[in-house]
Amino acid sequence: MKYRIQPSSLFLPVLFLALLLCGPARAFEPFTVDDIRVEGLQRISAGTVFNYLPVKIGQTMDTGASVSAIQALFKTGFFEDVRLEREGDVLVVYVRERAAISSIELQGNKDLDSEELLSGLKEIGLAEGRVFDRSLLEKVEQELQRQYFSRGKYAVKINTTITPLERNRVGILIDISEGRVARIRQINIIGNHTFSDEELLDEFSLTTPTFFSAFTKRDQYSKQALAADLEVLRTWYLDRGYLQFQVNSTQVSITPDKKDIYLAINITEGDQYRIKVVTLSGDLVVPAEEIYPLININPGDVFSRKRVTESVDKISSLLGNQGYAFANVNTVPDIDDETDEVSLGYFIDPGKRVYVRRINISGNSITRDEVLRREMRQMEGGWYSAEKVERSRTRLDRLGYFEEVNVETPSVPGTTDQLDVNYSVKETSSGSVTAGVGFSQSSGFVFNASVQQTNFLGSGNRVSFAFDNSDVNTVYSYSYVNPYWTIDGISRGFGAYFRETDASEANLSEYTTDTRGVDVNFGIPVNEFDTIRFSAGYRGLDLTSTSLSPRYVTDFEDTYGNSFGDLVLSASWRRDSRNRILFPDRGGLQSIALETTIPGSGLEYYKLDYTQQQFIRLTSDLTLGLKARLAYGDGYGEFETMPFFENFFAGGIRSVRGFEDNTLGPKDEFGEAVGGSLLTVFNAEIIFPLPFVETASATRLSAFFDIGNVYSDINTFEAGDLRYSAGLAGVWASPLGPISVSIGFPLNAKDGDEEQNFQFTVGSFF
C-alpha cells in the first residue's frame, strides 16, 4: 500500500479527508516500524528528513500517522512530492526535492537599484542557494509592479523566465520593461464657484507638464501626492472661512496606452463663516488679559483655521513658559448654520505646573561641563520654561564647538510635575587653519594663514596665532580671549601683533608700512542679545615710500613724517540674534563700532563702521541673506583727512565679488587703487543646500547680488559710481576651516576696473 500527494493538484486537508473515506478495504494496515529509509535526496541530508519526520522506529504506522508524516514533510517547503511505502516492516520515504535557485538576474530596471532589489528578495526567501518557490516569485512580481505604479509607470511589464539547470537547479531571469512615466494631462476641479481653477491649482504640488517638469517631477501622478494636495485644498478653504467644505470624490483616469492621466476632483464649497464671539474657559492660571492679546482672530473676522491654530500655539507657548509643560489648549467651535457664524471657545487645561529636576548634558568629551552649563538659561529646580530651554539650546549651538545640539524633556518616572532636560551634543573640531588664496596678473598667487583654537583645551577660551608670509603681508599676531572672565559673562582679552605690508602687492599704491601693537579688550553683555565692547591699545607705525610712490604718499610723508606712535581706543555695540553662528537661517547681526586715536597721538583720526546682517527663512530649504555695511573715517586736529593707509577698500570675495581685491574706488596717477574714507557695500543672497544631497549639512550654495564702492570722502559720493555684480557662491565648513568659492560677473564694469570672476578663500563667511 502506498500514498502519494502532488502539491499542484491536492491540498493536505483534502488528502486527509480522502484517506478517511477510503474505507477498511483501502486502509493503511497498521504495522510496527523496524526501520526507515529515505529515497530521492540530492542536496538535503537524510538527518534533516528524520528531524522533521514525526514517525520513529518502534512506533506503529497507520493511516493517521502517514497523513501527519506527509504534512510535516510538506511544511518544510523542501519537497514538491512525497510518497510513503511499506517494504515489510520498513517505512520507505520517497521524496522529490524542490529545485534550488542557482542565480537571479535582473535586467531593464533603471528606477530601482539592482543591489537593493536583490537584498529585498533575499529577505523574503528568494535568493541564490535557497529553495525555489514559484508562489513566492509571483508575489515578487506583484510587489515590483506596485512599486513601479507608485512611481507613475503604469505601463510596466515584468516577465520572469525560469530555466532548469543540472543537479535540480534553476536560473531566474526577471526582465523588466519599465515603460514611460504616465504624465498628468489635465486636472479638473468641479464645484468651485468662489475661487478659480488657477487659484486652487497654484497650491497643488501636482501639475500638468511644464518646462521644469523634467526636474521637479511634479507632473507624475502618485496617490500620496494627490492625498497631500487634497489636504492643501481643504486647508485653503478652511483658512478662508468655508467650514462645510468637502471633497466629495476624486476620479483618476488613465488612457489605454497608460501614458496619460486625467484627474477630476469634485468638491462642495459651502458657505463662508465669520466669528461671532471669542471666549476663554477652563482653568485660567494665567490672567485672561494676558491671553486675549495672543488670540489673533476676533469677532467679525472670517474664520481661519490657520489663525485659530496660531492662537493655540501662542497660548500653549505662554503656558509652557510659565511652567505648564503639558498644557492642553483646545478650540470648541459652535457653528450656527442659519447665520453662518461661529462662536469660538478656547478651553484651557494647564495640567500641573512642572519644574526641572535635572539638566543632563552628554556627548561633550572635550568641552568641560561648566563651559556648557554657563550657557544655560533654564535652571535646575526652577519652573520649566520652553523658551528658556530653547534659548539654552541656541546658545550652545552658537558656541561653534558642536556639529549638532539636541534637547529632550522626558518626564521623571513616578511623578506628574517633574521633568529632566537632556542636552546631547556632537562635538566638532574647534580648531581651524584659515587661509586665503587668490591670483592676479600683477602679484600671482598669494597665501595667508592662521591657526585658531576657539575652545582651548575644552575651556571655552579662544587662542589664536596668525602668520602671513605672502607677497603682501608678513604678519605675526597672538590673541587670547576669556569669554567668562567673570561669572556674569564679562569677557577679557589680550592681543599682540607685528605686521609688514607691501601695499603694491595688494593692488594698491606703492608704499610699505611696518606696524606693531598690543591691546586689551573687554566685553560686557547688556542682555541676552546685546553686548558692548571696549578696547585700548598702543600701536606704532613706520611708513616707507619709494621712488615709485604716488604724490599723495610723499606729500603725507613730507607733512606729517613717517613714524607714529598712537594710543587707540575703540568701542562697539553688537546685537546678535542669529540662531547659530555657522550657516544661520534666522535672526540677524547688527553692530556699530568706533575707533579713534586719543588727542596728542602721532595720528589723529576716527573711524565709524556700521554693519547689519539679516537672515530670513523663505522655505525649509531657502534662506534670504541680506548684509549692508557703511563705514566712514576722517581726521581731526592737525589731520584734515584720515591717513590714507587707514582707508577702506572694496572689491573681492568679502565685498563686491567679481572685482579683484581692493581695486574699486579712486586711483592714483599710476592707476593703482587708493581706497577711500567712505565705504558702502550691500550683499543679497538666496541661500540653498547642495542639490540632490540630503546630508550635506556642512555645505551651502547661494546666488548673490553685490553692490558697492569706496569714495574719497562723503562729498564725492555718486550713486552712478556704484559697481554691481552677480553670480554663484559656495561655502564648505571643512576640517581646515570654512572654504568659500565664488564665480562673480560684474554687471557694470568701467574702464580701469580689474575683474576677477573666480575667487577662493578659506576662513570667510558671508
Label residues 40-72 b or e (16+ Cβ within 10 Å = b): ebeebeeeebeeebebeeeeebebebbbebbbb
User: Could you tell me the pLDDT band of residue 610, with boundaries at 50, 70 and 90?
Assistant: very high
pLDDT for 3: 40
Compute the distance between CA of residue 157 and CA of residue 135 in angstroms, rounded to an integer: 18
Label residues 602-635 b or e (16+ Cβ within 10 Å = b): bbbbbbebebbbbbeeeeeeebebebbbbbbbbb
Q: Identity (one letter) of the amino acid at 310?
A: E
The percent of residues in the chain predicted with pLDDT above 90, rounded, is 43
DSSP track, 562-587:
SEEEEEEEEEEEEEE--S-SSS--SE
pLDDT for 538: 96
Q: By C-alpha distance, which of 243, 250, 292, 291 is closest to 267?
A: 250
> For strand 462-469 and strand 737-746, is the pairing parallel, antiparallel, or unpaired?
unpaired
Residue 710 has pLDDT above 70, yes or no: yes
Compute the distance between CA of residue 309 and CA of residue 316 in angstroms, rounded to an integer: 10
Choose between 242 and 147: higher pLDDT. 242
- How far separated are the first and last CA of the chain, in Å rounded? 91
Continuous segment of H or E residues that includes residue 47: helix 46-52
Compute the distance between CA of residue 459 and CA of residue 314 in angstroms, rounded to an integer: 38
Q: Is the dihedral of CA 505, 508, 514, 518 positive or negative?
A: negative
Span 341-360, average pLDDT? 92
User: Are the C-beta atoms of residues 103 and 172 closer than 8 Å to each other?
Assistant: yes
What cell was used for 476?
605675526
What cell was used for 685?
543672497
> For strand 418-427 and strand 402-408, is the pairing parallel, antiparallel, or unpaired?
antiparallel
What cell was used for 445?
598667487
Span 228-238, average pLDDT? 93
> For strand 260-268 and strand 328-336, is the pairing parallel, antiparallel, or unpaired?
unpaired
Choose between 457 and 441: higher pLDDT. 457
Per mean pLDDT, which range of 41-50, 56-65, 285-294, 650-659 is the poorest? 41-50
User: Could you tell me the pLDDT band of residue 16, with boundaries at 50, 70 and 90?
Assistant: very low
List of residues 6+ apart from 369 with CB closer than 8 A: 361
Residue 513, CA distances (Å) to 178, 277, 343, 541, 643 in order: 71, 74, 76, 7, 12
Between 305-321 and 223-238, two packed helices, what is the crossing angle to 10 degrees?
90
Per mean pLDDT, which range of 214-228, 356-370, 528-542 is the poorest? 214-228
List of residues 6+ apart from 266 with CB closer than 8 A: 190, 191, 247, 248, 249, 250, 251
List of residues 6+ apart from 699 with CB closer than 8 A: 689, 690, 693, 730, 731, 732, 733
The percent of residues in the chain predicted with pLDDT above 70, rounded, is 91
Compute the distance between CA of residue 5 and CA of residue 82 in angstroms, rounded to an integer: 6
Span 210-237, average pLDDT? 84
How many CB atoms lie under 10 A from the CB of residue 158? 17
Residues 419-440 pLDDT 10s:
999 999 988 776 655 555 544 3
How many CB atoms lie under 10 A from the CB of residue 463? 19
User: Are the C-beta atoms of residues 315 and 348 closer than 8 Å to each other?
Assistant: yes
Compute the distance between CA of residue 144 and CA of residue 133 in angstroms, rounded to an integer: 17
Q: What is the largest CA-CA distance in the chain?
A: 136
DSSP track, 278-299:
EEEEE---S-HHHHGGG----T
Span 574-588, average pLDDT? 87
What are the structural domains, with CATH classification, of the chain?
2-97 (3.10.20.310), 100-177 (3.10.20.310), 183-268 (3.10.20.310), 278-349 (3.10.20.310), 355-427 (3.10.20.310), 431-762 (2.40.160.50)
Residues 583-600 pLDDT 10s:
888 899 999 999 999 999
Compute the distance between CA of residue 364 and CA of residue 391 in angstroms, rounded to an integer: 19
Compute the distance between CA of residue 52 and CA of residue 71 in angstroms, rounded to an integer: 10
515: phi > 0 → left, psi -120 to 50 → alpha, else beta; which?
A: beta
User: Could you tell me the pLDDT band of residue 695, with boundaries at 50, 70 and 90?
Assistant: low
Q: By C-alpha distance, which of 58, 75, 79 is closest to 67?
A: 75
Q: By C-alpha distance, which of 287, 288, 349 is closest to 316?
A: 349
Q: By C-alpha distance, which of 649, 738, 654, 729 is closest to 435?
A: 738
Residue 702, CA distances (Å) to 148, 617, 624, 682 in order: 35, 14, 9, 15
Compute the distance between CA of residue 105 and CA of residue 173 in angstroms, rounded to an integer: 5
DSSP track, 703-735:
EEEEEEEEESSGGG--GGG-EEEEEEEEEEEET
List of residues 6+ apart from 642 with CB closer than 8 A: 605, 606, 607, 633, 634, 635, 677
Compute the distance between CA of residue 234 and CA of residue 727 in angstroms, rounded to an integer: 40
Mapped onto helix, strand or coil, the DSSP state of residue 197 is helix
Mapped onto helix, strand or coil, the DSSP state of residue 532 is strand
Torsion angle of the four alpha carbons 705, 710, 713, 717, in this order, in degrees rounded to the nearest 10: -40
User: Could you tell me the pLDDT band of residue 310, with boundaries at 50, 70 and 90?
Assistant: very high
Compute the distance between CA of residue 674 and CA of residue 643 in angstroms, rounded to an integer: 11
Tell me whether residue 213 is exposed, middle or buried, using C-beta atoms within 10 angstroms of its C-beta: 0 to 12, 13 to 18, 19 or more: middle
Residue 9 has pLDDT above 50, yes or no: no
Residue 391, CA distances (Å) to 398, 528, 614 in order: 10, 9, 19
Span 118-136, average pLDDT? 75
User: Are the C-beta atoms of residues 506 and 472 closer than 8 Å to each other?
Assistant: yes
Compute the distance between CA of residue 206 and CA of residue 227 in angstroms, rounded to an integer: 10
Span 742-756, average pLDDT? 90
Alpha-helical (H) ranges within 354-477 are 369-373, 386-398
Span 235-258, average pLDDT? 91
What cell was used for 626?
541680506
List of residues 6+ apart from 28 with CB closer than 8 A: 1, 3, 19, 61, 62, 63, 66
User: Could you tell me the pLDDT band of residue 70, with boundaries at 50, 70 and 90?
Assistant: confident
Residue 2 has pLDDT above 60, yes or no: no
Q: By C-alpha distance, which of 319, 41, 331 is closest to 167?
A: 41
Label residues 749-761 b or e (16+ Cβ within 10 Å = b): eeeeebebeebeb
